[in-house]
């Protein structure tokens, strides 16, 4: 079943098309994020375009910063009736991302300051980075 009939995949073929691992597909199924296909060929499950689309949507949402739990919620929304919910979810995610960016910037600035200090002092004096860790 390596010879894919259009729109019919084994789990391995589906995984490759979606850019994930076989184990990942099984994991999503186990947690209910992806349905097991009704169709089988012998003992093997046969996946269709719907499952591939679903996997791609999951990946896209992950790239936007959503967790699998959040993605489950998002993919349960109806594009016509739940506009407000989706927008709220996106805005909440934006706020979290912004907050994290600020946090990282503070870290970066603190480190940059220490490195700069390191540049302007010479070898006989102790390392300002290590001293900053050691002192109050």
Interacting residues with its own copies (CB under 8 A): 53, 56-57, 60-61, 63-65, 74-75, 77-80, 82-83, 86-87, 89-91, 93-94, 97-98, 100-101, 104-105, 107-108, 110-112, 114-115, 118, 123, 126-127, 129-134, 136
* Cβ-proximal residues to 55 (8 Å cutoff; 6+ apart), any chain: 14, 18, 20, 25, 28, 34
Q: How far is the CB of 134 from DNA (least distance, A)?
A: 18
| Residues paired with 21 in a beta bridge | none
Burial class (CB in 10 A: 0-12, 13-18, 19+), 46: buried
For DNA, the closer of residues 54 and 117 by Cβ is: 54
Chain residues in the site for DNA (CB under 7 A): 1-3, 10-13, 20-24, 26-27, 41-45, 62, 67-69
CA 91 to chain CA centroid, nearest Å: 17
- Toward DNA, which CB reaches closer, 41 or 131? 41
CA distance 44 to 2: 12
Our CB check for DNA shows the closer of 1 and 111 to be 1
Binding partner at 48 among its own copies, DNA, none, C-beta below 5 to 8 Å by kind: none
Closest CA to 85 of 94, 98, 76: 76
């Amino acid at each position: 079943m390596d010879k894919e009939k259009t729109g019919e995949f084994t789990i391995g073929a589906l995984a490759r098309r979606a850019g994930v691992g076989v184990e990942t597909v099984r994991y999503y199924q186990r947690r209910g994020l992806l349905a097991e296909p009704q169709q089988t060929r012998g003992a093997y499950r046969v996946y269709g375009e719907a499952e591939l689309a679903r996997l791609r949507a999951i990946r896209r949402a992950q790239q936007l910063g959503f967790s699998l739990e959040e993605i489950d919620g998002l993919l349960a929304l109806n594009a016509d009736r739940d506009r407000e919910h989706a927008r709220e979810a996106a805005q909440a995610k934006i706020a979290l991302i912004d907050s994290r960016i600020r946090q990282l910037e503070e870290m970066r600035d603190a480190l940059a300051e220490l490195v700069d200090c390191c540049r302007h002092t010479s070898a006989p004096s102790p390392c300002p980075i290590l001293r900053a860790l050691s002192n109050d």
